Structure 1
């Protein structure tokens, strides 16, 4: 009947049990939502890459951009191949009344040799894939206000031409275009058609730009690729293994870490509240436990009794928290993916989130209950029944010594110093809170009632300091996250300018010839222009394959207009080192993922060959989010001889309008340029993503502070109910109800003020250490005053709100009844 006794004990303290349950529920809800959001983000980016690459194993390109379709026919004869498709990309412009600017009318047409194979998955909404015309996505069709079968007028080298919308398909990464007309100025529309149709429209018979290959299962792919290369004997062809590395397009590891940190904090706050509640419950029921032992209960049965109480709370928390987690996860994911302006349908992933949340939802509360449950099992029968006070062995002195020793870790010149600071504060927190509470008690701003509240807080210092500590950590984390985002926001413009390479970047579907460069250089306002090449490089960590983009470096241009930056003293030295044979320079994110040291050798795989390159440095760059590498013209030509440049940089004269030059470029090369991005457009694009993400984190931190408020409420309720007789005596000697209200609210304020002041101080110290020890020089020491103000206001509101219910509850008890309490 232990289960029934445990249930009765919970029901006996309804208010305490309810708020403890609420804290556990919110913790489980937040944890599930965070894990599910991260899981969904990872799944979405991987699926987008799969869709974009057609889930292929290998691709074949050419250094001259296009090659004969006969190569496709020859490769297709290989018996190891399961599916194969040839494709080519071409640029055109749409003629719609909705497009008011040249940039808004860019359309990238992709011609495919086949729509019926496992390399392509299109969910047809309307129309027919077999009909002649173009295929567009559902979002594009809505923005263009066109339906299947209707006509679209496009510009071609031979003049304007009407083409039919043969089919409308569900949004997919292969056809991910602008989500709005405003976004169309920076992002091309996309459409599919047959390879034959592209060749006819652009007068390029028998030409393709890429072959995608899917091998049969259990086939030795390297041997098959080698056999294909030997049979073709074409030095211009590049064979590239497809590696689904989402870091190429989404650098979200830091974002994931911060989400996990906030989710974990919410769960730990719930566990702290449970610990406090259980410890007080054990203290209150010592006589009861002693009687149970006298009638035959063993220490293990006492443990089971209390653990079953925890299990009841956990089971109810899971039953209610998981459905609530689904709702919160939907809100988080809408906010996160909305910030990155993706129009791909997001399907929530919870394969890992569900079991992990259930597991953590059980394990963390159980671990939090171990100390009070063990304490309950060791209650001494004689001393409890005779009310003999047990001797307390204080461990505070030991905690203080350890805390001071740990505090020395802040002088370590590494990010680990932040951990040392947090651990030291946790150990020393009761001492700090005691000092501040004494100071508050002696000041006049809380009055005489505040003095009494301060003394009451000191009597329950350990219990009260636990919740104050959690509030301090929540505020500290909020300040740190806000500081990082503020630093990024303030430095976006500077950092993009330092690594944009000029005023305009452009990409071409066809090789950028010297004639094109000369034509661009003659445009009004153009000071200089440069073309360069990029190449995909495969490397590995253990058994995991990775892939990033290598960017060609030309020292003459990079000396003044680089695509990366380092400390001024290192910039020239790095450029000189890149001129040496077999060297490579890594972006900061790529360097961190690689895990080696400057001067070590990195092995990359290009066109089926191993290449050892010496890493000469790491730099900061906004190109590919820092997950990239830089290599000299000579070294890239050794890896891919005669590779054609497809990227370009333009430097403009001072006061030249970027948008006018961009429009002239698009009008001059309407069938070549796949993208044109100005410096100001890139700055605006990056600035738009941060506010949404920042708001998302602010919301999560507010949840953490609210849970802390529940903890303060629960702590105050226990404190007050322990002092019912004392409060009755105060009422009997002429204390008014308002003074009792003020005393209890002051107690809540003291707990909150301790958390606010120590949390802000800890937050500023953490921001300083993060800026000082961060290897990423983008992060600066910035104290977010707005967040400090919000933390103060929210902390005070939560502390006062948490005090109202306990003060109201105790004031309802009559004087005569309270004086009869033990």
Structure 2
């Protein structure tokens, strides 16, 4: 057995450069696979971590449908034996007192007062200081902007001052702007002791919410107080870990898997090319082995062990590199999303998965050559003088099949892209031959006779060269498609936000808006219309599978502001006229899992209720993870009559002065002023930032493909030793040999990039017309990405060819002629 492994190792390393480049392909493929799996798991962990931090150990909470409720409202519930721990909280809006000329909106801050900063119902990750229930707790970005450290004093307008006792990491409860620009549209958030905040405000009995923990599941207590709180202004909800309203990252996981699959595909194809060529070259060796008593199985086993050795080495080297790349990628990714988040790299599970996959995929891609090695005929192998080239008829059939498969991309189904990729692979010999003929005059002009020979050599191993160019093309095409989606997505979001935002500006208050507030807003010369918006939040509901989720329910009316686009033919507003009906945003509908006409179970301020889902609609609000109800029904049936938001229509010349005036007049309870343009910028900033990562990944993918180019040219050179030796004997210089190999590499690179650009354009066009995208993506070519692809493809292909050209120029003339 040991002898078999030693023979396989000797065979694997007999051609050291081929061994190196094949191993390099496996290492890079494994590295990218590991990195993407780690990024996928770590990203999921990051958001789970912050969701769990938001929930802490709380089971339920009592919220207010108004601004606050008296503490006496929940006193009987707190005395229930099932309640094991409580946390009281009060939110108040005010302003920082700062030196300098910062405007009111930049200084706006919401103070959350809690009765126990160390409570298990509250998870606050401290960076510096301690939670002493005496001082102010600042998030790190706020401390940095205010230039405050633990022990420094912070003053609040009209209230008082307190020392900073702790500085914390990012947490949803204290989520704050990280720069002054962001502070123009959203308030800072800090935490203070409840007693101190009550002393400042004089509200000794007011609460915004109470969190509590129960003994057991607490369902009986929940149902009991759900009924008792009706009509009190307070309502009870389960505390649910559901952050989908603020984090629409589902597509990010798909992105990770696409890149991982692409890396495996390219690396696997390189392995296939190498092992298949090796089997063809060793046919006589296998025939002799079989004539000496080796069976089909033992020959195949020998080749299989060679691949297992390569896979083992590639895994042991590639996986650790993947851990490093995954860590670097996560750092860059969270910077793109502009979150002040921390992460712990989740590498153990992904590493195990990546290790197993990296052991399997090189073997899987080699199964056909391994089987072919065992099937070698002794007589035919000893008779064969060379490699039989496919007939022109087989190319015609292959081309027709490729065209049919490529046309499948216009079938509106995700699987059609796999058919399109298969079509590209089938068509590539014809494409490579066509590009060779088209570029022949140019190569003759620029490279003279070596260029002519390079074009001719292209056809000697047309399938191998075509496969090498094809894997480059597939990589370029898929990256171009991803880049096009990312580049045009902001336009889709902008269109959706503009059409469903409901106005030009949305202002949010900590207290319900009154009619006097509306009348005052209408006196502003910049404001032409004011529309109150009721948003019941947070509201828990159940999926078809019985899992609890949480979102907001917004009020709508037909003559009011447009908050959604109707998706179906049914008139949504007319359907919502009926009692106990609701429309869901697309993401909420998908998460729910039911059908139109089914009922959804919701925990409302008026208790548990069933609502018929009458439609699914497109909306920009909470990225579609929300619901809509007729305004009157939201007040009467649902039990939510307050409006904390206003949608303003403003004149074209409205500027910063309007924002400043709003904060001046309503600053005591105003918490957020956001324009539609700011919502567009906030939604699209992370997507736009992904372009840089896409370009980086594309260069890595092209570099991986270029490893295949180098390997292919090395194999071509090895097979043409006698030919190159003859050319040298007839007067070819080393420089001309190098030029010839460089020209071959350039042809392969040009063909791969050209094929990738054409395929990418086709995929982009088909995707833009797909109903699955629903007009979200427009047909636009990502020109910068295409230019990078062209430059990187040519440069890296020439670099790969240069390595092979050096080997070709060093071929010993006499030794090569003797071999012939």
* TM-score range relative to shorter protein: over 0.9
Q: 1:413 to 1:135 in 2, by over 3 A?
A: closer
- Partner in structure 2 of residue 161 of structure 1: 160
**1:771-809, CA deviations, whole angstroms, 9 ceiling, x for partnerless residues?**
101433221011122222222222111221111111111
C-alpha distance in 2 between matches for 1:277 and 1:789: 30
In the other structure, the counterpart of 1:453 is 454
Residue 12 (structure 1) shift: 1.6
Out of 53-62 and 89-98, give the one that drifted further: 53-62
Deviation at residue 2 of structure 1 after TM alignment: 1.4
Q: Decide which of 522, 530, 542 is 1:539's aligned counterpart.
A: 542
Deviations 1:226-279 (A, max 9, x none): 133356565543222333233211111222212321221112211111111111
Q: What secondary structure sits across from 1:248 in the alignment?
A: coil
1:484 aligns with 2:485: yes
Pairing 1:781–2:741 present: no
Conserved 8 A contact 1:555-1:575 = yes
Matching of residue 637 in structure 1 with residue 635 in structure 2: yes
Provide the residue aligned with 1:197 in structure 2.
196
> Is the CA contact 2:695–2:788 (under 8 Å) kept in the aligned structure 1?
no
Tell me if structure 1 keeps the 8 A contact 2:753–2:790: yes
Partner of 1:22, secondary structure, is helix
User: 1:48 — aligned with what?
Assistant: 50
Inter-CA distance 422–640: structure 2 relative to 1 (3 Å threshold)? same
Native 8 Å contact 1:103 1:663 kept in 2: yes
Deviates most, 48-57 or 663-672: 48-57
- Indicate yes or no: 2:564 matched with 1:564: yes
* Secondary structure at 1:182 match in 2: helix
Which of 714, 732, 743 aligns to 1:735? It is 732
- Look up the match of 2:511: 510
How far residue 52 of structure 1 moved from its aligned partner, in angstroms, is 2.6
Superposed CA offset, 1:93-143 (max 9, x none): 111226622222111111123234321223445444334232223343233
Work out whether residues 287 and 377 of structure 2, in 8 Å CA contact, stay in contact via their aligned partners in 1.
yes
After TM superposition, give the deviation of residue 442 of structure 1 in Å: 6.2
> Once the two structures are superposed, what CA deviation does each residue of 1:133-154 show, in whole Å capped at 9, x if it has no partner?
3222334323322232322110
Q: 1:592 to 1:396 in 2, by over 3 A?
A: farther
State the match for 2:186 in structure 1.
187
Structural mapping, 1:252-331, within 5 Å:
252-331=249-328
Farther-moved stretch of structure 1 (789-798 vs 495-504):
495-504
Superposed displacement of residue 204, structure 1? 1.7
Which residue number in structure 1 is paired with residue 424 of structure 2? 425
Deviates more, 1:138-147 or 1:276-285: 138-147
Please name the residue that 2:112 is paired with.
110
Aligned in 2, Cα 1:434/1:251: closer, same or farther, shift over 3 Å?
Answer: same
Match of 2:149 in 1: 147
Q: How many Å separate the matches in 1 of 2:653 and 2:92? A: 33
CA contact (8 A) 1:335 1:692 kept: no
How many residues get paired? 809
The answer for the alignment partner of 1:719 in structure 2 is 716
Deviation at 1:23, TM superposition (A): 1.1
Helix, strand or coil: the match of 1:162?
strand
Which ranges of structure 1 fall in alignment gaps of 5 or more residues?
A: none
Q: Deviations over 1:318-354 (max 9, x none)?
A: 2222222122122211221112211122222224321
* Residue number in structure 2 paired with 1:210: 209
Instruction: Please give the alpha-carbon distance, in whole angstroms, between the structure 2 residues aligned to 1:708 and 1:222.
Output: 58
Conserved in 1, the CA contact under 8 Å of 2:27 and 2:318?
A: yes
Partner of 1:2: 4
Of residues 136, 139, 160, the one that matches 1:137 is: 139
Query: Is 2:340 the partner of 1:337?
Result: no
CA contact (8 A) 1:134 1:163 kept: yes
Following the alignment from structure 2 to structure 1, what is the Cα–Cα distance between the partners of residues 525 and 56?
A: 42
Q: Please report the RMSD computed on the Cα atoms of aligned residues, expressed in angstroms.
A: 2.7
Whole-Å separation in 1 of the counterparts to 2:200 and 2:415: 60
2:789 pairs, out of 788, 791, 807, with: 791
SS in 1 for 2:326: helix
Displacement after TM superposition at 1:594 (Å): 4.5
- 1:404-419 equivalence runs, <5 A: 404-414=403-413, 416-419=415-418
Which moves more between the two structures, 547-556 or 352-361?
A: 547-556
CA distance in 1: counterparts of 2:10 and 2:185, whole angstroms: 64
The match for 2:554 among 551, 555, 559 is 551
Q: 1:457 to 1:544 in 2, by over 3 A?
A: farther
Q: Is the 8 A contact 2:584 2:613 kept in 1?
A: no
Alpha-carbon offset, residue 494 of structure 1: 4.1
Residue aligning to 1:84 = 86
* CA-to-aligned-CA distance 1:357-378 (integer Å, 9 cap, x gap): 1121112111111111111122
Unmatched 5+ residue regions in structure 2?
none
Deviation track 1:165-186 (CA, whole Å, cap 9, x = no partner) reads 2333344332232223333323
Alpha-carbon distance between aligned partners in 1 of 2:325 and 2:384, rounded to the nearest angstrom? 49
User: Are the aligned partners of 1:178 and 1:189 in contact in 2 as well (CA < 8 Å)?
Assistant: yes
- Three-state SS of the structure 1 residue aligned to 2:769 is helix
Q: Residue 74 and residue 672 in structure 1: after superposition, are their counterparts in 2 closer, same or farther (change >3 A)? A: same
Indicate if the aligned counterparts of 1:537 and 1:550 stay in contact, CA closer than 8 A. Answer: no
Structure 1 distance, partners of 2:191, 2:646, is 26
CA shift in 2, pair 1:162/1:548, >3 Å: closer
- 8 Å contact kept, 2:86–2:212: yes
Match of 1:34 in 2: 36
Q: Counterparts of 2:34 and 2:571 in 1: how far apart (Å)?
A: 49
Match of 2:66 in 1: 64
CA–CA separation in structure 2 for the residues paired with 1:670 and 1:480: 47
Retained in 2: the 8 A contact 1:66–1:207? yes
The corresponding residue for 1:655 is 653
Query: Residues 398-457 of structure 1: CA distance to partner in whole angstroms, max 9, x if unpaired?
Result: 645544543453443455544433332233333333343344446655654334223322
- Aligned equivalent of 2:704: 707
Aligned residues of 2:32 and 2:260 also touching (Cα < 8 A): yes
Q: CA deviation at 1:458?
A: 1.8
Alignment deviations for residues 644-677 of structure 1 (CA, whole Å, 9 cap, x no partner):
11111111123121x2222222222222122111
Deviation at 1:292, TM superposition (A): 2.9
The alpha carbon displacement at 1:492 in A equals 5.1
Aligned partners of 1:79, 1:745: CA distance in 2, in Å?
82
Write out aligned runs for 1:614-625 (5 A).
614-619=613-618, 621-625=619-623
Segment drifting more, 129-138 vs 708-717: 129-138
Paired with 2:430 and 2:80, the residues of 1 have a C-alpha distance of 75
Contact 1:441–1:455 under 8 Å retained in 2: no
The 1-side partners of 2:147 and 2:551 are apart by: 38
- How far does residue 545 in structure 1 lie from its aligned partner after superposition? 3.5
Structure 1: distance between partners of 2:557 and 2:659: 23
Answer yes or no: is the 8 Å Cα contact 2:749–2:793 preserved in 1.
yes
Rounded to whole Å, the distance in 2 between the matches of 1:541 and 1:694 is: 37
Say whether the 8 Å CA contact 1:98–1:144 is kept in structure 2. Answer: no
Q: 1:806: which partner in 2? A: 804
